[in-house]
């Protein structure tokens, strides 16, 4: 009786082992038969104005496509155009139109407009000045107006804050507001919208300019006095074209977009992508 029990137990154990081995082989076969998935990576660099939209859109896209990677960095519009033109980036972000000299140097660049933005003049919340004309803004940035009392404020020297030479926002401001006249030499030149906002927020007598998406409670946005009509820097006023300092936001590719570059740009131009544009304080183009 004891031997008969042992034989049956051994048979049961052996059968169990066989089943486990067959199951393991089946699992291994399924894993091994999984088709390989292409790992795709692109880099996006340039304008710090476009940067927040580009990064949030990249994160949203990668959440849905786990095998794709989109690397986003700033540096300024000129950096973005140069990088995509020379092949060190797949997409160049710019908050200005491409210059004729850049077009000649990189003839293969293709423009993609993803949004419209306004440039807001900002001051410290403690500043009494709430509105300025375009002529007054130009005079401040030229150094012709150097004290806040000249435009209805306190008797204090104006601290002029702007962007560095790589900035597309500076280039647009120089063309549109300054009419290509030079900035005052004492202007503080910073390398991002965020740096301008932070400096103005921490400096009671400062004035600076940033994209609409950077306005928050740490600074006060100046209303533009346009022929007696006060126009606030809002997305609605940019959309209806009443706000006078507005421009398109661009992404540039070197030749027609393909692969992940195309998929990412298509996502930016989709309803979900344009909703990101709107949430970040810019004007969607759809």
pLDDT of residue 20: 53
**% of the chain with per-residue pLDDT over 70:** 87
Tokens 């008797």 sit on residue: 155
pTM: 0.76
pLDDT at residue 67, rounded to an integer: 95
pLDDT (0 to 100) of residue 281: 87
pLDDT, tens digit, 9 for 90 and up, residues 224-240: 999 999 999 999 999 99
Residue 30: the pLDDT is 46
Q: With bands split at pLDDT 50, 70 and 90, how would you rate the model's confidence at 286?
A: confident
Tell me the HSE value of 20 on the side-chain side, using a 13 A CA sphere: 6
Question: Residues 280, 52: contact at Cβ < 8 Å?
Answer: yes
46's CB contacts (< 8 A; 6+ apart) are 74, 75, 76, 77, 79, 80, 81, 83, 84, 89, 92, 93, 94, 168
The tens digit of pLDDT for each residue in 93-105 reads 999 999 999 999 9
Q: Who's near 284: CB < 8 A, 6+ residues apart?
A: 115, 274, 275, 277, 278
Please give the average per-residue pLDDT across 1-17, as a whole number: 46
**Segment 40-87, tens digit of pLDDT:** 999 999 999 999 999 999 999 999 999 999 999 999 999 999 999 999
Categorize the per-residue pLDDT at 17 as very low, low, confident or very high, splitting at 50, 70 and 90: very low
Q: How far out from the chain centre does Cα 262 lie?
A: 18
9 has pLDDT over 70: no
Which domains, ranges and CATH numbers included, belong to the chain? 40-116+248-279 (3.40.190.10), 118-246 (3.40.190.10)
Average confidence (pLDDT) over 23-34? 48
Average pLDDT value for the chain? 90
């Amino acid at each position: 009786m004891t031997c008969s029990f042992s034989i049956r137990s051994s048979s049961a154990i052996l059968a169990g082992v066989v089943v486990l081995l067959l199951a393991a082989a089946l699992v291994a076969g399924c894993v091994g038969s999984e088709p390989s998935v292409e790992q795709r990576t692109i880099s996006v660099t340039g304008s710090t104005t476009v940067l927040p939209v580009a990064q949030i859109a990249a994160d949203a896209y990668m959440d849905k496509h786990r095998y794709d990677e989109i690397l986003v960095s700033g540096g300024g519009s000129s950096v973005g155009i140069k990088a995509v033109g020379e092949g060190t980036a797949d997409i160049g972000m710019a908050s200005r139109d491409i210059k004729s000299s850049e077009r000649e140097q990189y003839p293969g660049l293709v423009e993609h407009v993803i949004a419209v933005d306004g440039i807001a003049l900002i001051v410290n919340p403690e500043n009494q000045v709430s509105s300025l004309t375009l002529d007054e803004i130009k005079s401040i940035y030229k150094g012709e107006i150097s004290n806040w009392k000249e435009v209805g404020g306190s008797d204090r020297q104006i601290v002029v804050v702007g962007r560095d030479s790589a900035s597309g926002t500076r280039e647009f401001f120089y063309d549109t507001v300054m009419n290509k006249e030079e900035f005052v030499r004492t202007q503080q030149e910073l390398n991002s919208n965020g740096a301008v906002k932070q400096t103005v927020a921490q400096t009671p007598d400062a004035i600076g300019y940033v994209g609409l998406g950077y306005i928050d409670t740490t600074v006060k946005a100046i209303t533009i006095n346009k022929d007696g009509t006060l126009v606030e820097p809002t997305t609605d006023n940019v959309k209806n074209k009443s706000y006078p300092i507005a421009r398109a936001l661009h992404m540039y590719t070197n030749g027609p977009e393909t692969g992940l570059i195309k998929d990412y740009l298509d996502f930016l131009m989709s309803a979900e992508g344009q909703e990101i544009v709107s949430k970040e304080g810019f004007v969607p183009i759809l």
